[in-house]
Amino acid sequence: MVSIANRSSAHLKFGRRTLLRYSFVAGLLAAGLTSLPGLAVAQQPEPPLVTVAKPVVRDIVEDDEFVGRFEAVDDVSVRSRVAGYLDEVHFRDGAMVNKGDLLFTIDRRPYQAAYDAAKSQVDVVTSLLEFAKTQLDRAEQLAQSGNLAVSTLDDRRREFLSAQAQHQGVEAALRTSSLDLEFTEIRSPLTGRIGRRLVSPGNLIQPDSTLLTTIVAIDPIDFYFDIDERSYFAYARDARQRGGSLQEGSGGLDVSVRLADNTAKPFKGKLDFSENRLDEGTGTMRVRARFDNKDGVLQPGMFGRINVPGSLPHPGILLPDEAIGADQNRRIVFVVDDAGLVSAKPVRTGPRIDGYRVIREGMTGDETVVVNGIVRVRPGVTVKPQMITLPPKAEGQTQ
C-alpha cells in the first residue's frame, strides 16, 4: 500500500512539472511568433482619401437642346448661258471666290465674229437712217412751198420710219450678240466657297444644262432644326418681349451650337426665322438660327447640337459629372458629414451648363460632396476628405 501511494505522488509531481515546462515553452513560442515580420496583429486600414467640394450655386438659365444641320445662305449651281467649247478654268477647286471673279471662259471666237457682224450691220443701217432723215427734211421744205406732191412727202416719211425700225432691229441684234460675247466669260454670282470643276477644258458646253460647278455662301451660315409646339410658343413670346418677331427675324434669342466632335468652343448666333406653319405629321416647326462664319469653320451639311434658352434666370445647383454616380435607375451623389461619414443622396439632374450638370432636385446647395474618387466610397464608410473650391465655370468653359 505504501509503495502504491508513493508511486502515485511521484507521478503527480512529474505531471505538474511537465505542464509548467510546456506552458513556459508555449509562451516563448507565442512571443517569438508575434515578433516575426508579417505575423503581427492586423492594423485598422486608413480611411480612403477623396476630394470633396461644395456645389456651385449661382443664377442659371437652363437650355433646351435640339439637333440640326448647317445650310448655306445661298447655294448656286453654275451653268453657261451660251453654247461652245470650254476654253479655260480660272479657279482652284475648293477656293474662296468673290462676286464677279472669272471662273470659266468659253471659246469667244464665234461670238466675237457675230458681234462684229452685228456692229457692221448697225453701221450700214445707221447711214440709211441718216439718208432717210435727210430726204424727209428736204421733202417737208418743198411741201411747205408747194413744190412737192403730198404723196411724195408721205413716201419719204414711210422710208424714214422703215429705216428707223430697221435701225432699232439691228441695234437689238447687236445687244444680243454683245451679251452672248459677255456670257462666254462665266463669273461668280456671289462670294463663297466654290466646289470642284465638273467639266474640263475642251468639252462642249450646252446652255442651261451642263453643270460646271457649285458655289455656297458660308458667311453667314444658317442652322435649321425642328422644335415642338410648346417650345415655339415660348421662343416667340420671348421675341415679342424684346420688341421683335421670331417669324420676321427680329428680336431673336441668343443661341449656341456645338459640332459633332464636341471639342471646340460653341458658336454664338441668333434665332432669326421660323416657318409659317406647323408640320401636321410631326407636330414640329422648322426654325433657323444664323451664325457668323468668317473663318469658314462651319460648312453646309455639318451636324450640330443647338442650345436655346428655355427658362428665365433662377438660382441653380451645379456639380461636375464626375461627382454623380448611378444606382440602378437613379442618380446619386455621395455626401460627407463633419465626421467623414459617407451617405448617398438621390438627385434629379438637368442639362449641362458651363461644363457642370444642373441638379434639379435632391440637394440644398450646402452639402459637402465627393467630386473625385467616388469609386472608392460607399454609404456608411468613413473617408479622409480633401476640400477644394469649384470655379463658377468648369475648366475650359468660356461661354
Q: Please write down the HEC assignment for all residues of 364-388.
A: CCCCCEEEECHHHCCCCCECEEEEE
Output the nine-digit C-alpha cell for 374: 467616388
Element housing 27 (H / E): helix 2-35
What are the Cα distances from residue 388, in Å, to 336, 344, 370? 13, 20, 10
Output the nine-digit C-alpha cell for 243: 420688341
Predicted pLDDT of residue 206: 94
Predicted pLDDT of residue 263: 65
Write down the residue that cell numbers 474618387 correspond to: 373
Distance, in Å, from the CA atom of 188 to the CA atom of 213, rounded to the nearest integer, reads: 10
Query: Any idea what DSSP says for residue 80?
Result: -
Predicted pLDDT of residue 234: 79
The type of residue at 315 is P
Predicted pLDDT of residue 329: 84
**What predicted TM-score, i.e. pTM, was given to this entire model?**
0.65
Region class of 49: left (phi > 0), else alpha (psi between -120 and 50), else beta: beta
The type of residue at 141 is Q
109-144 vs 150-183: helix crossing angle, rounded to 10:
160
Question: Mean pLDDT by 10-residue block, N- to C-terminus, for the chain (399 residues)?
Answer: 44 45 46 46 75 93 89 95 96 94 96 95 90 85 81 84 91 94 96 95 93 94 92 78 64 82 81 85 91 91 88 87 89 94 93 88 93 89 92 67
Predicted pLDDT of residue 264: 67
Distance, in Å, from the CA atom of 275 to the CA atom of 303, rounded to the nearest integer, reads: 20
Distance, in Å, from the CA atom of 337 to the CA atom of 340, rounded to the nearest integer, reads: 5
Distance, in Å, from the CA atom of 320 to the CA atom of 98, rounded to the nearest integer, reads: 46
Predicted pLDDT of residue 32: 47
Output the nine-digit C-alpha cell for 227: 422644335
